[in-house]
Amino acid sequence: MPRTPRPLPGRPTRGRRRWREPALRESSSSPLTRSARQFSCALASPANLKWRAEHSNKGVQRASRTIGKGTGTPDEINEAREILSNYRLTHAFPLNAVTMTVRQRALDVNPNAVVAERRKRLPTILDKLKRHPTMSVTTMQDLGGCRM
């Protein structure tokens, strides 16, 4: 049975209705305890992550070229690594938000569901850029993923 969106409290329901997340279930059969959910949410809070991009897409593309072609001084290569690392970390908060939503929905269907997330590690990103020097991190399709 498909879910119908519930309007947010205190908001008029003109036009499109906004989706309100259901409250977390507190069942004993859930493989994720309340403290684990709170810890996971605390890890993903904006205060704990550098989830805002510090560099423009052009800057990230330049850093990708520097790493891929191997040109530049050691200081430039280290700066490019820092830029790529920050770009990778900007995906942590949205990925965690998606994973938490998928986890909540999966546990509604199956209390034994396991949902996991992963981000591509920086050494793997650097190796891929060296293998494909014309590729940019901004066009990489597998920086992170959520699996159920």
**pLDDT (0 to 100) of residue 105:** 93
pLDDT at 122 over 70: yes
Integer Cα distance of 66 and 58 in angstroms: 12
Q: pLDDT class for 75, splitting at 50, 70, 90?
A: very high
Integer Cα distance of 98 and 146 in angstroms: 8
Q: pLDDT class for 47, splitting at 50, 70, 90?
A: low
Which range among 44-58, 60-74, 97-111 shows the weakest confidence by mean pLDDT? 44-58
pLDDT at 6 over 90: no
22: phi then psi, degrees, rounded to nearest 5: -70, 155
> How confident is the model over 115-132, as a mean pLDDT?
91
Integer Cα distance of 114 and 66 in angstroms: 39
In sequence order, what are the beta bridge partners of 116? 147
Q: Helices 122-131 and 74-89 sit at what angle, rounded to 10 degrees?
A: 120
pTM, to two decimals: 0.60
Domain range list for the chain: 34-147
